[in-house]
Amino acid sequence: MADNRGVTYQGPGTVEVRDLDYPGLVLRDGPGVHPDNVGRECPHGAILKVLTTNICGSDQHMVRGRTTAPHGLVLGHEILGEVVETGPGVEFIKVGDVCSVPFNIACGRCRNCKEGKTGICLNVNPDRPGSAYGYVDMGGWLGGQSEFVMVPYADWNLLRFPDRDQAMEKILDLTMLSDIFPTGYHGAVSAGVTTGSTVYVAGAGPVGLAAAASAQLLGAAVVIVADLNEERLAQARSFGCETVDVSKGDPKDQIEQILGVPEVDAGVDAVGFEARGHGAGAATEAPATVLNSLMELTAAGGAIGIPGLYVTGDPGGVDDAAKRGALSLSLGTGWAKSLSFVTGQCPVMRYNRQLMQAILHDRVQIAKAVNATVISLDDAPRGYAEFDSGASRKYVIDPHGVTGKAA
């Protein structure tokens, strides 16, 4: 029964809003659903009315045809919603609660979840550790760029906001808690950012901007954000970051002009596998560029956080190696400089409660930093197209018109 609508992937460059079945407390068959997950019962789940759901750069990789995502996949893993139904196994979450949904789906029962590694839960994806809503090879849990969505293990996964009115007032900031803000923060923490650090963030898309704002929150002395897109660099400057235009050559020279030395204490890769070259090569895809550059730029003994997405299968890769996620890394440089690296999904639950508190107590304005822009569900295809063209905006889909701010 079509009592729901959502954004679906219909092939490279194409997303469409389609009628969907209203979610139930069972995982039904459909595009991308792992056969072993079909029929999986979720008495521990809750159904949410989606209040806001964001378009992510990771979604864009799929929409560009750079993954093996199947046609018809319901997109969206950044979700904030109101609980409208709970399963018989849900004890603490109640109907009417307004909650953030971590993009990682986690059971709360396995060894990894108990160790706080919720990005690599062992029980929710039959293929490999880790799962997410509306994402390729992640078990087939339906995405949240829709009017309604089911969240399994609700008592464990949902972050309930303490006051509904306050949450609605700050909804554009709080919607970033599902992924982008914790992911950027994780990148900065993984890079060892602390009071007085100098930080280089590669990529001025929403995750890079969130990483930059997070570095400031952590006490960095100077945050330098690099990109090819002047509009995105201007957005970084709008909240106090220094910027580097990598189309103008090796970023080391520009960093030296800013800091007096050609290196930083901490580096963050917020670009991922669709990286481009620097200088004259800026128009050409070169997926190892950012990682190799960060190894050159980061001071010996430093660390590199890698929230940018890298995949094991890329049909559009520049060569056979890139198509299977094998990059030509100068690992010897990293070894010689004793650099540390942290990769993988951000374990959102490690950070989201603390970041919620920072938002509620006005310690950070993350929506302003990433230029949150509200659109309707029907405008989602336009949002994807504009985001893909390089617009310096974080598109927030408002399926029910609750924010009153849709453009």
Q: What mean pLDDT comes out for the span 78-98? A: 98
> What single-letter DSSP state applies at residue 40?
E
The three-point CA angle 382-388-393 to 5° equals: 75
Q: What CATH number does the domain containing 11 carry?
A: 3.90.180.10
- Contact status, residue 305 vs residue 186, Cβ threshold 8 Å: yes
- Is pLDDT of 407 > 60? no
* pLDDT value, residue 326: 85
pLDDT per residue as tens digits for the range 363-378: 999 999 999 999 999 9
Sign of the four-CA dihedral 210, 132, 157, 169: positive
Residue 390 lies in a domain: yes
pLDDT tens-place string over residues 52-66: 999 999 999 999 999
Supply the CATH number for residue 332's domain: 3.40.50.720
- What amino acid occupies position 272? G
Under the banding of pLDDT at 50, 70 and 90, the label for residue 327 is confident
Answer whether residue 205 is part of any domain: yes
pTM greater than 0.85: yes
Q: In this structure, is the dihedral angle defined by the CA atoms of residues 121, 65, 225 and 362, taken in order, positive or negative? A: negative
- Does residue 359 share a domain with residue 309? no
Q: Are 118 and 72 contained in the same domain?
A: yes
Give the span between the Cα atoms of 37 and 309, in whole angstroms: 25
Residue 327 sits in the same domain as residue 286 = yes
Mean pLDDT of 81-105: 98
Total domains in the fold of the chain: 2
| Cβ(329)–Cβ(304) below 8 Å | no
Q: Tell me, yes or no, whether 18 and 110 share the same domain.
A: yes
Residues 375 and 304 in one domain: no
Residue 228 lies in a domain: yes
For residue 406, being part of any structural domain is answered with no
Backbone angles phi, psi at 321, to 5 degrees: -65, -45
Are 194 and 148 in the same domain?
Answer: no
Residue 404, domain member (yes or no)? no
In a domain, 403, yes or no: no
- Mark whether 207 and 310 lie in a shared domain: yes
Token representation of residue 402: 């609750």
Residues 176-193, mean pLDDT to the nearest whole number: 98
| pLDDT above 60: residue 294 | yes
Domain that holds residue 202: 184-342
Do 93 and 128 lie in a common domain?
A: yes
Average pLDDT over residues 263-270: 98
pLDDT value at 305 more than 50: yes
Reported as a single tens digit per residue, the pLDDT across 148-166 is: 999 999 999 999 999 999 9
Q: Is residue 312 part of a domain?
A: yes
Fill in the DSSP letter of residue 358: H
Side-chain-side CA neighbours of 193 within 13 Å: the count stands at 30
Helix (H, G, I), strand (E, B) or coil at 12: coil
Residue 406's pLDDT band (cuts 50, 70, 90): low
pLDDT at 147: 98
